[in-house]
Amino acid sequence: MSRIGKKAVSIPAGVNLTLDGQTVTVTGPKGTLSWTVAEEIELKNEGGELTFSPRDESKRAKSMWGLSRTLIANMVHGVTVGYEQTLELVGVGYRAALKGDALAMQLGFSHEVDIPPPAGISFAVPKQTEIKISGIDKQVVGEIAAVIRRIRPPEPYKGKGVRYLGEKVRRKEGKKK
């Protein structure tokens, strides 16, 4: 039994949730998100709360039960508060700037790396060594942060590279004589 799936998703004031068959559309002050729930899950919207229950006892129904609840809860949180991921650049000469909406980074390559923002994502550079990625879709914010980190991941000898804020990099001892 899913412990997460049993919990109802409360819909705050200012958020409009519509059910069209298995498609859930959530509209809030920051935007609109929609997702189609698997056929094995039954949805009920009653009294400002959305409840989930499996239609049968199959393994897939049990798997999709908690997943569906979590994804819908993330959508509600995204359209009300939004999501943000912070990256930090560590290394001599590593810096970031905005060129219009696009992110331009110097990461020790012979060229500058430019990344255009996907739809619904915005970049901010409060300091030259800090990048803030924000949007309403949790999956897209995390994915673009991972793409940026993958360009120059932190290396274990000097710790240089792009890392998540607060990420600990295990350092290795260098070569000995």
Q: Is residue 175 part of a domain?
A: no
Structure tokens at 142: 């995390």
Domain containing residue 71: 3-80
| DSSP letter, residue 37 | P
Q: Is residue 171 part of a domain?
A: no
Report the pLDDT value the prediction gives residue 113, as an integer from 0 to 100: 95
| Same domain for 101 and 156 | yes
Q: Is residue 132 part of a domain?
A: yes
| Same domain for 118 and 76 | no
With CA atoms as reference, report the closest residue to 102 among 138, 144, 162, 143: 144
| Same domain for 90 and 55 | no
| Neighbour order of strands in the sheet with 102-106 | 95-99, 102-106, 113-115
* Contact present, 131 and 84 (Cβ < 8 Å): no
Give the CATH number, domain containing residue 10. Answer: 3.90.930.12
For the entire predicted model, the pTM comes to: 0.88
User: Per-residue DSSP letters for 16-33?
Assistant: EEEEETTEEEEEETTEEE
Report the pLDDT value the prediction gives residue 1, as an integer from 0 to 100: 59
Q: Could you give the number of structural domains in the chain?
A: 2
Q: What is the pLDDT along the chain (177 residues), one digit of tens a residue?
A: 568 888 999 999 999 999 998 999 999 999 999 999 999 999 998 888 999 999 998 999 988 999 999 999 999 999 999 999 999 999 999 999 999 999 999 999 999 999 999 999 999 999 999 999 999 999 999 999 999 999 999 999 998 999 999 999 999 998 887
